[in-house]
Amino acid sequence: MKKITYRVFTMFTLLFIITSCTEEAEYANYATFEKTSSDVGVPPNSEIVESIIVYTGNLTGNNRNIEVLIDEESSTISSSAYSVPTSITIPANQNAASLDITFKDEGLDIATDKTLVLRLKGGDDFYVGEKITLNVSKVCNTGMSKAKVNIEFDDWPEEAYWSITNTSTGEVVLASAATPAYGAYAGMTGSLSSAVCLSPGDYVMQIYDAYGDGGTGYVLTINGSTIFTASGNYGSYTSSTFTIQ
């Protein structure tokens, strides 16, 4: 009985070792981007280089070239706004390399991100990780801050209007329309984003609802950080003051 038990144990142990070795061999021949998404900011009339690390699961004694493909169906950025190498080389005896992508201010928008989606090309005996999505937008010049308003409309968008005003000068720097009033968003659905570059100073955001039930939602961010949210339960009016340093 002991011999039978020993033999069964040995067979299971051998099977486990073979399975483990197979999995290691399979996933060793593997490459992936360091992350699945990244935000990229491009200054006005400028270009930048964004570096993305590509890792492999093993070391080899030879250089390895991995093809880099653009997912054009998922990308929204203009082809004139970026330059991507067609492949990346992992040096011999290393398991990482930098993919350097050049972005320039061509057709970029301060309010809405453009996306560039990339993937690595796999093969029968070569496995790759997930795609990477690069969210690209125009950023403000040095000394300025990006104020961005994200709006989610309710069923009566025509009732919503708003403005951001410099409280020192009285200048309206961003608004639903040149003259904020009822009807600015008539017929619109879904969501909308607006943005502006602000100089240091004190500001107030004022939100109105013509019917008085405050249905449309707003989120105000400064350089990506949320500083004010109006969830839709604000009646006919709400406001928030903020300072740009």
What domains sit in the chain, N to C, each tagged with a CATH number? Answer: 30-138 (2.60.40.1740), 145-244 (2.60.40)
**So what's the pLDDT on residue 2?**
42
Question: CA Rg, the chain, in Å?
Answer: 27
- Cα angle value 129/132/137 (rounded, 5°): 175
Q: Please state, as a whole number, how many other Cβ atoms lie within 10 Å of the Cβ of residue 8.
A: 10
Q: Of the candidates 150, 148, 151, which has an alpha carbon nearest to the alpha carbon of residue 222?
A: 148
Strands (E), 34-131: 37-42, 47-56, 64-70, 82-83, 87-90, 96-104, 114-120, 127-128
Q: Would you give the DSSP letter of residue 123?
A: B
Q: Is pTM, for the whole model, over 0.95?
A: no
Q: How far is the C-alpha of 74 from the C-alpha of 57, rounded, in Å?
A: 27
Above pLDDT 90, what percent of the chain? 85
Rounded CA-CA distance 197/11 in Å is 69
225-244 pLDDT, tens digit per residue, is 999 999 878 999 999 999 99
| 186-210 pLDDT, tens digit each | 999 999 999 999 999 999 999 999 9
